[in-house]
A and B are shown apart, each in its own frame.
Chain A
């Protein structure tokens, strides 16, 4: 396995501390941690997005008719 030195210097530094035969296992562990973090971040993003979704500047398609109607009425006043 070749890892570009300039692209992931922190990874290369980490792997240099590990015996060459154990580096694949080290990479697998790091990938697993990365995946778990990605999933949790994704969940958090969704949770934050939910309440906003109801009133966001970019409403869901479901709320588009309501937004148009409210806008038309507001402008007519």
Chain B
């Protein structure tokens, strides 16, 4: 049985895939996608493409490139992202990268507030299921799709990593998943989702990057741009060049996170008010975990805050595990 766990984020495409009975392969690509004709000649014609070429409704798209590389194509940063052609292009890129012709089960996630709307999750499942014309000569079939709330994948990944999961069976675990567009959280009590205490905040990593860009502009007089800062971080660099000068980004990111993080943690605490017992631990997953760690620790000083290795892959590893 071939399973694909896929998280089509606003910043990165993450995947965990492979057959049941073996460890999954994991993969990360930038989540930029655009019609192929929006790529500049220099990038598209150098013979060393680091992106994929796919079809979306018969139209050629490029996918898996840095979001700032396409010209005259705006980045989709809104709640209806899953119904966009960019999202479909990234899904097709994910199918292509899985190296499978037939996928028995795709498990994917939606932000919590969207997951709680049955219409949205059924629409996404219907969109992903069936036969897909990925390239002019490649078709890939998806037999079944399961849509889950994004942070649940991180919880499953954590459960699997424990030597003895009995220690968590009757616990109340708050899973916080800071992404680029939204910060999502779920409360899982005795292995069941507490729907009334789940939530989403849009004060996410993109807002921290915007704030850092604003602070850099105040000090250095120019706009480095959110996508450029994002690109710098994705490549593991800690400096960005502005007017010929190298700017250390870490202090600006910290200052921005110190401002935005508490807004999220306040919303989070508010959503837990309906609970008559507190959480036993906090699990911090997702690509933006580092930005929000301090704010979460400050908000729950009495709780252990745990972050997995490579938190950016936690959700998809969990998605895959739920599928097998």
Q: Which residues of A are interface residues toward B (Cβ below 8 A)?
A: 51-52, 54-57, 62-63, 65-66, 69-70, 72-74, 76-77
Q: Is B72 an interface residue (CB 8 A)?
A: no
SS class, residues of chain B in contact with chain A: mixed
B216 lies within 8 A of chain A by Cβ? no
B41: interface (CB < 8 Å): no
Contact B152 A73 (CB under 8 A): yes
**Could you list 20 A-B pairs, sorted by A, with CB under 8 Å?**
A51-B23, A54-B23, A55-B22, A55-B324, A57-B21, A62-B163, A65-B164, A65-B166, A66-B159, A66-B160, A66-B162, A69-B165, A72-B192, A73-B155, A73-B193, A74-B148, A76-B192, A76-B193, A77-B146, A77-B152
Q: Is B207 an interface residue (CB 8 A)?
A: no
Pair count A-B, CB < 8 A:
57
Nearest A residue to B163, CB-CB: A62
In the bound assembly, the distance between CA atoms of A23 and B143 in angstroms comes to 61
A73 and B192 contact, Cβ closer than 8 Å, known pairs A62-B164, A65-B166, A65-B169:
yes
Range of interface residues on chain B? 20 to 34
From residue B314, how far is it (CB to closest CB) to chain A in Å?
Answer: 14
Which B residues from 202 to 258 make CB contacts under 8 A with A? none
Which residues of B (1-49) have their CB < 8 Å from a CB of A? 20-23
